[in-house]
Amino acid sequence: MKMMDVANELVAGCRENRELANLDKLYAKDAVSVEAMDMGNGREITGVEGIKGKHAWFDSMYEILSGEVSDPFPHGDDRFAVIFEMNAKSKETGETEVMKEVAVYHVADGKIVREEFFYAGE
């Protein structure tokens, strides 16, 4: 797939709640995911199975009440960024919070090989 095909499918999958299916479809098996800060599991995870684990952890912690996913912002032929905004409720405390992050995806050989998340810290 070309980089923009990957980018458009990632965004469509997020908007249509197909994120998990897209992990196998769009990500290299040894893809790296990097968070802006350690949330208890380290900042960096390697491999699609580890990235699936991050998704499972997030889903176990939060209920998404609403969300928006921007169109992709391409950068050359190997990277793109997406802005995610969501209102989420903590399953532990019931408190709601507004989350906003920028994700930068690196693409090689038609697959996402690295994702990096940027968000405001406390």
Report pLDDT digits (tens) over 1-40: 899 999 999 999 999 999 999 999 999 999 999 999 887 7
What's the whole-model pTM score? 0.93
SS3 70: coil
- Which residue ranges form the domains of the chain, and what is each CATH number? 3-119 (3.10.450.50)
* Amino acid at residue number 16: E
Cα distance between residue 108 and residue 13, in whole Å: 19
> How large is the average pLDDT for residues 79-101?
95
> How large is the average pLDDT for residues 81-108?
96
Beta strands in 1-110 (DSSP E): 27-34, 44-46, 62-69, 73-75, 79-90, 96-108
- Per-residue confidence (pLDDT) for residue 67, from 0 to 100: 94
Asked whether residue 122 carries a pLDDT value surpassing 60, the answer given is no
- Per-residue confidence (pLDDT) for residue 121, from 0 to 100: 61
Report the half-sphere exposure of 35 (CA within 13 A, side-chain side).
15
